[in-house]
Amino acid sequence: MALAKAINESLRKALESDPKVLIMGEDVGKLGGVFRVTDGLQKDFGEDRVIDTPLAESGIVGTAIGLALRGYRPVVEIQFDGFVFPAYDQIVTQLAKMHARALGKIKLPIVIRIPYGGGIGAVEHHSESPEALFAHVAGLKVVSPANASDAYWMMQQAIQSNDPVIFFEPKRRYWDKAEVDVEAIPGPLHKAKVVREGTDLTLAAYGPMVKLCLEVANAAAEEGRSLEVLDLRSVSPLDFDTVQASVEKTRRLVVVHEAPVFFGSGAEIAARITERCFYHLEAPVLRVGGYHAPYPPARLEDEYLPSLDRVLDAVDRSFAY
């Protein structure tokens, strides 16, 4: 099943099992979303459950907050990563803080789906990775699946969460297929996974970069290096215990994400792992990601995004210490 289809199936299951679940967003109904992630849901669940909204992101999130206060569980779609900013105020000043402001009396179980990241040759504002901006905000949880199975299960768990969850969907992986066991018992939403065992260096990634890191590990294996690959899955909270355990074994860590490196999630991982594993590390924690520049035009994105060679280069630098 393709990752996009897995999310669709997951949303379908949520709509079936809980009448309070709503899907909201621009074009999510008749069109089924610009990526067709919500395809067919309005046809089967009606316009009251799968709601085409006016073209107003702050309005989408703000009204979702009101619906959640009324007892609904809205799953809202922001059409593309770079379009979330009109809603950023509602997300940061209201959605994230209302539970605390009400001393726990209010719960806002809202999922904000954001297709994110580059690699699809899109125009400006359609390829960004703003996850650090959300992870920095207390009150929000931030997750990103890397494969269809996680997409299916993590969406179920995000909808069941009583906290607001920013659900970053790796749009360049929407069409990647994988087995999805819809009967499985999933692990915790915020637990990282070791997706490839290794002994010499740890690659930590999430979302679209997990697949790249697995390719890097294959390439490194041909050079005689055994790389362990972690799929972090959750950016906030971040499962530092799993990263720590891996680094204590491999003694080297390279963090890979598409977002700019500066003040990114890799910086947080590097800082905390340095604190936790200072005497285990053979090299400083290295980061591979985007540059401190606006996301470039599509013809340059291959240079901007982490690539097999850029990650391998970081691996080499780690071993050079």
Partner 1 sequence: MTVESTAARKPRRSAGSKTGTTRTTAQSADAPAVDAPATAAKRVTAKRAATKKPAAKPAGTGADPDLVQLLTPEGRRIKNAAYDPYVAALTSDELRGLYRDMVLTRRFDAEATSLQRQGELGLWASLLGQEAAQIGSGRATRPDDYVFPTYREHGVAWCRDVDPTNLLGMFRGVNNGGWDPSINNFHLYTIVIGSQTLHATGYAMGVAKDGADSAVIAYFGDGASSQGDVAESFTFASVYNAPVVFFCQNNQWAISEPTERQTRVPLYQRAQGYGFPGVRVDGNDVLAVLAVTRWALERARRGEGPTLVEAFTYRMGDHTTSDDASRYRHDDERVAWEAKDPIARLRTYLEASNHADEGFFAELEAESESLGRRVREVVRAMPDPDPFAMFEHTYADGHALVDEERAQFAAYQASFADVEEA
CA–CA distance, 321 with 283 (Å, rounded to integer): 6
Residue type, 43: K
Nearer to partner 1, 30 or 292 (CB): 30
3-state helix, strand, coil in the chain (%, to 5): 40, 20, 40
Inter-residue contact 143 to 158 (CB < 8 Å): yes
Residue 236 within binding range of partner 1, rule CB under 8 A: yes
Site for partner 1 in 73-112 (CB under 8 A): 86, 89-90, 93-94, 97-107
- Give the binding range for partner 1 (CB under 8 A) out of 134-142, 147-155, 208-216, 286-294: 134-142
At its nearest, how many Å lie between partner 1 and the CB of residue 98?
7
**Pick from 72, 134, 152, 167: which binds partner 1 (CB under 8 A)?**
72
CB-hemisphere CA count at 13 Å for 221?
Answer: 13
Taking the C-alpha atoms of residue 21 and residue 74, their distance in angstroms, rounded to an integer, is 6
Q: From CA 135, how far away is CA 157, in angstroms rounded?
A: 18
99 is a catalytic site residue: no
Question: Which residue among the candidates 99, 125, 126, 292 is catalytic per the annotation?
Answer: 126
Chain center to CA of 150: 11
Please pick, from the candidates 31, 46, 162, 291, the single residue that binds partner 1 as defined by CB under 8 A.
Answer: 162
Q: How far is the CB of 282 from partner 1 (least distance, A)?
A: 26
Q: What mask, x for binding partner 1 by CB under 8 A, covers residues 194 to 233? A: ----------------------------------------
Q: If residue 271 lies in a helix (H) or strand (E), which one and from where to where? A: helix 265-277
Tell me the C-alpha distance between 305 and 295, whole Å. 9
CB of 99 vs partner 1, minimal distance in Å: 6
End-to-end CA distance of the chain: 43
Complex with partner 1: residue 268 or 301, whichever CB lies closer: 268
Residues 6+ apart with CB under 8 A from 293: 260, 304
Q: Nearest CA to 256 among 315, 200, 170?
A: 315
For partner 1 (CB under 8 A), the number of binding residues is: 46
Q: How far is the CB of 269 from partner 1 (least distance, A)?
A: 12
Q: Smallest gap, in angstroms, from Cβ of residue 70 to partner 1? A: 3
Q: Catalytic site residues?
A: 126
Binding site for partner 1 (CB under 8 A): 48, 53-54, 56, 58-59, 61-72, 86, 89-90, 93-94, 97-107, 138-139, 141, 161-163, 190, 236-240
